[in-house]
Amino acid sequence: MPVSTPNRRNVRIRLNSTVVRARPIGGGVNAKEVEVTYVNGSKARKLRAPAVVFACYNTFIPYLCPEIPDHQKEALSYAERVPLIYTNVLIRNWQAFQKLGVQRIAFLTGYFSSAEMDFPVSMGDYRFTASPDEPCVLHLLRAPCRHGMPAKEQYRAGRRDMIATAFSTYERNIRDQLARALGPGGFDPAKDIQAITVNRWAHGYAYEYPALWERTWQPEEKPNVVARRPFGRIVIANSDAGAHAYTDGAIDQAYRAVQELIGSKNVAPV
């Protein structure tokens, strides 16, 4: 899909194309090009590029580019993504929220840790709910973990639990928690809940070095800093590279990676 902008080169985006290999041509750090293999449909295809930016989960990268040095592979594999469950519940109206005078509910010991009315966003012809008599979407959050373990082990255990849990378990807890919290305002889950979607992010948020479990690193020795070092014509940009799980962190790392390409003596600007 060519995209043309003033004073810029055309960009071609290959949709539904999963990269499975990025091989430096002519040696690792001294490579002149990178050969990229990607799968589209049932066919594997190859192309060559003057440079490559990896913007994926760090632990995948050693498998995509085995030529990366072992110490960098170890750093790339260090992070453990945090599993998250984002659940949307469509309710018939939000009169109970108005009667109780609440917008967000925190459950200190609940299956879901919070439930709140979704952000009031209007886009195009769509307008957010403006009256308690209108339908509303609720956002429920659960971060599955296993208490009593180091953080990364909790994330792994939570991921296994998330994948093995049936939809009926999520639904039962949704109905129970909303009934207990909103029942005094007249909420009845049997008639007021219209639809439920459960989004399971097995590898949701980037690892952020939790202070209670993590060792103290010198800034230049942090695994995410070692992991994102340029490898010849390959640079790395993603939220893992910044150990920061939010959009602004990913944008910052993308900018940094592109600047590394532009400033490299080995890589011409692209």
Domains and CATH numbers, the chain: 2-79+208-263 (3.50.50.60), 82-205 (3.90.660)
Residue 8: band (very low, low, confident or very high) from pLDDT cuts 50, 70, 90: low
Rounded CA gap, 11 and 198, in Å?
A: 35
What predicted TM-score, i.e. pTM, was given to this entire model? 0.81
Residue 62: band (very low, low, confident or very high) from pLDDT cuts 50, 70, 90: very high
Mean pLDDT of all residues in 94-112: 96
144 CB-near residues (< 8 Å, 6+ apart):
83, 85, 157, 158, 159, 161, 162
What is the token pair recorded at 268? 């011409």
Look-up of token digits 């799968």: 39
Mean pLDDT of all residues in 208-215: 82
Mean pLDDT of all residues in 241-262: 94
Q: Which residue has the higher pLDDT, 128 or 106?
A: 106
Report pLDDT for 268: 43
Nearest alpha-carbon partner for 99 in 184, 185, 180, 193 = 185
Report pLDDT for 5: 52
Report pLDDT for 265: 54
Question: How confident is the model over 24-45, as pLDDT tens digits?
Answer: 998 778 888 999 999 999 999 9
Report pLDDT for 14: 87
- Residue 85 pLDDT more than 50? yes
